[in-house]
Amino acid sequence: MKAGAARRMLALVRRYMYLLRGSWPRILELAYWPTVQMVVWGFVTQFFVGHSTWVANAAGVLIGAVLLWDVLFRGQMGFSLCFLEEMWSRNLGHLFVSPLRPWELIGAAMIMSLLRTCIGLAPSWVLAWVLFEFSVLSYGPGVVAFFTCLTVMGWGIGMTVTAMVIRFGLGAESLAWVAIFAFAPISAVYYPVATLPGWLQPVAWATPSAYVFEGMRAVMVDGVFRADLLAGAVVVNVIYLVIGATVFAAAFASARSNGKLLQVGE
């Protein structure tokens, strides 16, 4: 390799290192996935070691967990993508020189989130029935209520993620894909909250998803609909929506006053 080519390659490497060093979301993402995967499946393994018969006696509980987790993921992604698509096309500033108000864009994003979720989930729910004869809806209307709670939680997180992207620019857009998985270890998707260390259990109960997945297992394993768990999910969801809306409003107001809406795609 010629010296000139080596210098040019090293110059590019240096450029990318500067880019990485100047964006904490990119640095965080490097260690994010391995850590989350290790923690989640570590707790799953720990739970299975002492409860191997639990899964055998509750056919479909893991399939149900996967399907409902996808509701949360797609609900958040469907919301965030509406804003990201406007940012990618550098159209956000153009939208807000029109009479459009921020809450109207949020409302449209919520509607699109529902549509994206339904479209995205339909094939997997059909395949779950065809391949495994499993249907979450067969467990009654309570599951629909839990479905709604997960979608609303996704909206709250989506507003916070969007606020971060508005504040830090598209260097933070990876948060739209990875932020939701920070909740996976404490959402008790595949194992009860009791499996978590004692100090972590209060953190889990501060998420609507923990109430939802505990409620799902109560329905599937014990045949009991826990109205108290649904009520807990609703209360925490209200807090998530308030926090998400507050953070979004503050980020949007700051971007508008500083003239950043027109440069948010840069």
- pLDDT grade for 206, boundaries at 50, 70 and 90: very high
- pLDDT grade for 109, boundaries at 50, 70 and 90: confident
How many domains would you assign to the chain?
Answer: 1
Helix%, strand%, coil% for the chain, nearest 5: 80, 0, 20
Note the pLDDT of residue 37.
54
Instruction: Note the Cα 84 to chain centre separation in Å.
Output: 15
* Span between the terminal Cα atoms of the chain, in Å: 35
**Count of CB atoms within 10 A of residue 265's CB?**
16
Distances from the Cα of 129 to the Cα of 60, 66, 115, angstroms: 11, 14, 21
Max avg pLDDT among 49-53, 179-183, 235-239: 235-239
Q: Are 88 and 171 in contact (CB under 8 A)?
A: no
Over 90: is that where the pLDDT of 210 sits? yes
Q: What tokens does 146 get?
A: 């839990």
- pLDDT grade for 8, boundaries at 50, 70 and 90: low
Q: Are 158 and 177 in contact (CB under 8 A)?
A: no
Using a 10 angstrom Cβ sphere, with 0-12 exposed, 13-18 middle and 19 or more buried, the burial of residue 199 is exposed
Mean pLDDT of the chain: 78
Over 90: is that where the pLDDT of 235 sits? yes
Over 60: is that where the pLDDT of 82 sits? yes
Least confident among 4-13, 120-129, 149-158, 223-232: 4-13
Give the closest residue to 150 by CA, choosing from 76, 223, 219.
Answer: 76
Q: Average pLDDT, stretch 50-72?
A: 70
Note the pLDDT of residue 2.
64
| 216-223 long-range Cβ contacts below 8 angstroms, 24+ apart | 216/61, 216/64, 216/65, 216/68, 216/143, 216/146, 217/58, 217/61, 217/192, 219/139, 219/140, 219/142, 219/143, 220/58, 220/60, 220/61, 220/64, 220/139, 221/54, 221/57, 221/58, 221/61
Q: What tokens does 87 get?
A: 């940012």
CA-based torsion, 238, 241, 244, 250: positive or negative: negative
**Residues 145-166: tens digit of each pLDDT:** 888 899 999 999 999 998 888 8
Max avg pLDDT among 72-81, 82-91, 131-140, 153-162: 153-162
- pLDDT grade for 233, boundaries at 50, 70 and 90: very high
The domain containing residue 133 runs over which residues? 3-263
Give the closest residue to 153 by CA, choosing from 108, 212, 204.
Answer: 212
**Residues 169-198: tens digit of each pLDDT:** 777 777 778 888 889 888 888 888 988 888
Note the pLDDT of residue 246.
93
Over 90: is that where the pLDDT of 44 sits? no
Q: What tokens does 75 get?
A: 């609900």
Note the pLDDT of residue 238.
95
